[in-house]
A and B are shown apart, each in its own frame.
Chain A
């Protein structure tokens, strides 16, 4: 039976893991490689690194983190943040990443999804969508770390990303992100129902029950979270025990 995935997210800036609220107020959380290894040992199913500065001059720092993580953590991991060209995808995959996550550049130049999928396979192209609610059943896509609105609606964009060859959707609710008040279940469910590819829900986890809700009611295939794992409130093992006790199949 296919199991639901629990994915710690490591937001990286200046070679460190940081965490903020609503994409702001960054707090230092630790060394990315040692955190990756620890999460891997604790039973995380995958890892996501997001380079939140996405500055080209920081790319060598990120590559170093990717290479060192690949030598120490034996679970799949995704790298994202500022990827604009297929050549950057190639470099990250060669450094040891299993998948890349593309967001702003995928909106600006949708062929990036198609090209990446053709060259390296859909399984390694994750399209990240940051969405903000406008009406009860309409979510707007934002780019540039949640600062710039686009004219895309999240559901339509998820469908288009799938059509172009995305292997997975990493869906973040800007409204819920950092609140620890639960995922946006309506958004997650709407996108998960609209596409055939797996949807990773992100933004708002504050308690294992939030992960349980998004993996059942929200119809997500995977739940991504940061603070609840980084700050030690709910280690991966406790979170998985909770999910198992609530009938959700996890590793």
Chain B
């Protein structure tokens, strides 16, 4: 069972729709308990960092996410769900989860912001979740980007006036700046790669499709 982290900042439904199409079981989780029992975690999100962090802390999800990643639970962060993994965000000065050293900075480009639309993945790391996605186009909507201190984390880059980090990976954690759930066949391939990677077990009990938190 894949848990989709619900903290009121997400496009959960589109991610869940995509997982349904892939035949992967998922559940919306808005409590630490909900994450603890998941085989894998998807951490989506859109919007600003400070209110998102406040919502995570209010629900005790900040600690639960740190624990899950440290335990090596298969984890996929999407968009804001990548940015929040770093120490802090320049967007609103928010202190983030601090799981990885680095900051979230405004994209230093001369092009229009937000960066909206389809853009390609470059220098894609040899990672099972990114298999077959070199030079594929993905859908981006953002103005800020994660800047990891440790370049070893970089799993893909993308160019929009400047080159920025469009995916990071470490252990069984991967996070992407784009929206695979909105990126057509290429995005579905990534999500399917993640489902396979997480080796999601069939559920042992039947849970309602739209669980707690909606």
Contact = CB atoms under 8 A, between A and B. Distances in A.
Interface of A: 1-3, 5, 40-41, 43, 45, 70-72, 74-76, 94, 96, 98, 121-123, 167-168, 196-198, 221-222, 251
A70 B184 contact: no
A2 B182 contact: no
A219 B61 CA distance: 45
A96 B141 CA distance: 16
B116 A123 contact: yes
A221 B111 CA distance: 12
B51 to A, nearest CB: 11
Contact of A74 (B116, B120, B181): B181
Given A96-B14, A121-B46, A222 B182 contact: no
Contacts of A167: 114, 116
A100 B141 CA distance: 15
Contacts of B183: 74-75
A251 B116 contact: no
Interface of B: 11, 13-14, 17-18, 20-21, 46-47, 111-120, 137, 139, 141, 159-160, 179, 181-185, 187-188
B116 A198 contact: yes
A74 B117 contact: no
Contacts of B185: 41
Contacts of A196: 112-113
B157 to A, nearest CB: 12
Nearest to B142: A123
A198 B182 contact: no
Contact of A123 (B114, B118, B137, B187): B114
The 6 lowest CB-CB distance pairs between A and B, nearest first, are A251-B137, A3-B118, A123-B141, A71-B17, A76-B182, A251-B118
A222 B183 CA distance: 16
Contacts of B47: 121
A2 B139 contact: no
Given A74-B182, A96-B13, A5 B117 contact: yes
A167 B14 CA distance: 20
A1 B139 CA distance: 12
Nearest to A221: B117
Given A3-B120, A5-B117, A167-B114, A98 B13 contact: no
Contacts of A251: 118, 137, 184
